[in-house]
Amino acid sequence: MNLLKDPWLPFSNQNGEIVYRPVSAIALPEVIDLALPRADFQGAAYQFLIALLQTTYAPGNIDEWIDRYQSLPTREALDQAFEGFTASFELDGNGPLFMQDRNSLDKESPTLSSSLLIDAPGASTVKSNTDHFVKAGRAESFCPDCAAIALFTLQINAPAGGKGYRTGLRGGGPLTTLVLPTDPGASLWQKLWLNILDREHWQYPEPDPNSFELFPWMGPTRVSDKGQKTLESDVHALHPYWSMPRRFRLMFEEGGSNCDLCGRESGRVCRTIKARNYGNNYDGPWTHPLTPYRRDPKKPAEPALSIKGQPGGIGYRHWESLVLMDTEGSGNLPARVVLDYARKVDESRHDSISLSRQARLWVFGYDMDNMKPRAWYGTQLPLLAAPQADQDRLLDWVRDLVGLSRDIAWQLRKQVKEAWFSRPSDVKGDTDFIDKRFWELTEDEFYSLLFLLGERIQEGNVKRIPPDLAARWYKHVRQQAVTVFDQLALSGPPEALDMKRITSARNKFLYQLKNGKTAKNFRKQAGLEDATLEQEPGETANP
Ligand SMILES: [Zn+2]
């Protein structure tokens, strides 16, 4: 099967129809999305297509980028761009095979193809029955289409896999952030193209389809049995899109069977694979254009680390780290494609059709606990691409808002526990849900204010956060916090409630909301007079 010619990816049309087509279907205006059978495959398939476009069809400069964003290419134009690369995208056969070792790994004994799935139960998890994603024995036969995307998904996300089984280039379980248009009905082409970088801004040598510095499967593997490293300087600039930390060969057999992943019947199936350790040992300061990183500003010599999936998920408190660069303070390095979107918006201002400052940010990845996945996480956040010149100020303003809610969330958890228990500091167990409810209740208002801040920031060079918007936030988060406190503190059977303890905790909470250091600083920072905040939350209500 050839991944540039054969119909191996499921595309969905405007009318909801799902059709398996060749990759050039991304040029069809009626195609609006992909429809892979698993969420991690869906994220990987987007990355496959972005990688393919960046490698074979990258625009020379921003004008060409804009032209191609506005009008879809023809399928013929894409096929022509892919033409020279087809030999590098064979999944089975005698030559080099996509994302597989050049060595046939004959001496290795076969293992189940399900070990390609990051959430597949290993021997230990089958025994302890913690395999909550894939039920043991349920994913045995993969059709070639699913085998191809499973292989790619593992190579780009590879967690630590035991002795010599190397971790992915971005570290195990990296977050990926992609820029999407606001309209979910936009063409798949636009969804992909927003994540393509132009070659005037990112200069690299012409990609050579036969080079193993670009496609590691095109040559012998850089074996790492003595700890040998694969460094950024060893390979082509686009190698991170095609990184291959693991050594595999897929074993295909004839004989019809239904694929355990997509459910379709297939004449050829992959039930086993061969694997060997000591593949590419990615080390050093790698950055991947689709992943956010963080550098410790106190240790500038150390490489930046990719941001990983987190227990508790991603919310507006993480927004700044995914969107706004801050090399001095927090060390945030958002994904290159996200930073570049703001530049594209700035530069398209002079064009006949300008890009919107508002878009969506799709954030996804595994939340890994070393080798074991805790969960797959995927969400979309509003993206505001502020003018590049104003981003530092926006960062200060966003920090003012989030700093206040962070402090309130902390106080809220503390005082709800005081209301519930006579010795709250002894309480064991997970109380994250207390803050979680508060974060959820304040999320919509945060993004409403964010877009308003985005408009104000362009109106003039005011340093301070606009007081009216700050006051709106100040009132909103305090009101929501008191609501959550009252709901939670008074939940439970009436006979278990200690009203004296609840009232005391509530009063302490209200006092902190008004007189705590963060609250006072916020008012000072925003220039809020006490008169604008006459109505204190909870003052009229009695628990
Ligand atoms: Zn399948």
**How much is the pLDDT for 78?**
96
Q: How many CB atoms lie within 10 A of CB 362?
A: 18
Report CA(100)–ligand 1 centroid distance (Å): 19
CA–CA dist 427, 429 (Å, integer): 7
Residue 542 Cα, ligand 1 centroid: separation in angstroms?
Answer: 59
Cβ distance 60 to 199 under 8 Å? Answer: yes
pLDDT of the residue at 431? 82
What is the C-alpha separation between 95 and 215, in angstroms, rounded?
Answer: 14
Confidence grade of residue 474 (pLDDT, cut at 50, 70, 90): very high
pLDDT at 537 over 70: no
Give distance in angstroms: CA of 442 to centre of ligand 1: 41
| 322-372 confidence digits (pLDDT tens) | 999 998 889 999 999 999 999 999 998 877 777 999 999 999 999 988 788
Q: Which two tokens stand for residue 287?
A: 């950055």
User: Which of 296-300, 318-322, 357-361, 447-451 bottoms out in mean pLDDT, i.e. has the lowest?
Assistant: 296-300
**SS3 of 183, please?**
coil
> Between these two residues, 426 and 174, which has the higher pLDDT value?
174
Determine the distance separating the centroid of ligand 1 and the alpha carbon of 15, expressed in angstroms. 23
In this predicted structure, what is the pLDDT of residue 198? Answer: 98
- For residue 91, give the 3-state DSSP assignment: coil
- Per the structure block, which two tokens stand in for 505? 């905790």
Distance 114 CA to ligand 1 centre (A): 12
Q: Looking at residues 98-103, what average pLDDT do you find?
A: 97
pLDDT the model gives residue 130:
43
Length of the chain in terms of residues written: 543
| Amino acid 123: pLDDT | 37
Q: What is the pTM of this model?
A: 0.94
**142 Cα to the center of ligand 1, angstroms:** 5
Asked if residue 201 has pLDDT above 80, the reply is yes
Distance 120 CA to ligand 1 centre (A): 16
> Is the pLDDT at 247 greater than 90, yes or no?
yes
Q: Beta strands of 14-86 (E only): which ranges?
A: 18-21, 31-34
Listing DSSP states for 520-537 in one string gives: HHHHHHHT--GGGG-S-T
Is 336 strand, coil or helix?
helix
Report the separation in Å between the CA atom of 253 and the middle of ligand 1, taken as the mean of its atom positions.
14
Q: How far is the CA of 45 from the centre of ligand 1 (A)?
A: 14
- The pLDDT tens digits of the residues spanning 213-228 come to 999 999 999 999 999 9
pLDDT confidence tier of residue 543, bands split at 50, 70 and 90: very low
Identity of the amino acid at 22: P
Query: What is the tens place of the pLDDT at every residue in 123-180?
Result: 334 334 444 445 545 688 999 999 999 999 999 999 988 899 999 999 988 999 999 9
Residues with CB under 5 Å of ion ligand 1 are 143, 146, 259, 261-262
Share of the chain above pLDDT 70, in %: 94
Average pLDDT of 67-78? 95
What span, in angstroms and rounded, lies between the C-alpha atoms of 362 and 39?
Answer: 12
Tokens found for residue 237: 């600039």
Rounded mean pLDDT, 269-296: 95
412 and 438 Cβ atoms separated by less than 8 Å: yes
pLDDT above 90: residue 256: no
Beta bridge mates, 111: 273
pLDDT of residue 111: 93
For residue 324, report the distance from its CA to the centre of ligand 1, in Å. 39
Tokens at 93, concatenated = 């056969």
**Ligand 1 centroid vs 140 CA: distance in angstroms?**
11
Stretch 411-422: mean pLDDT, rounded?
92
The chain-wide mean pLDDT, for the chain, equals: 91
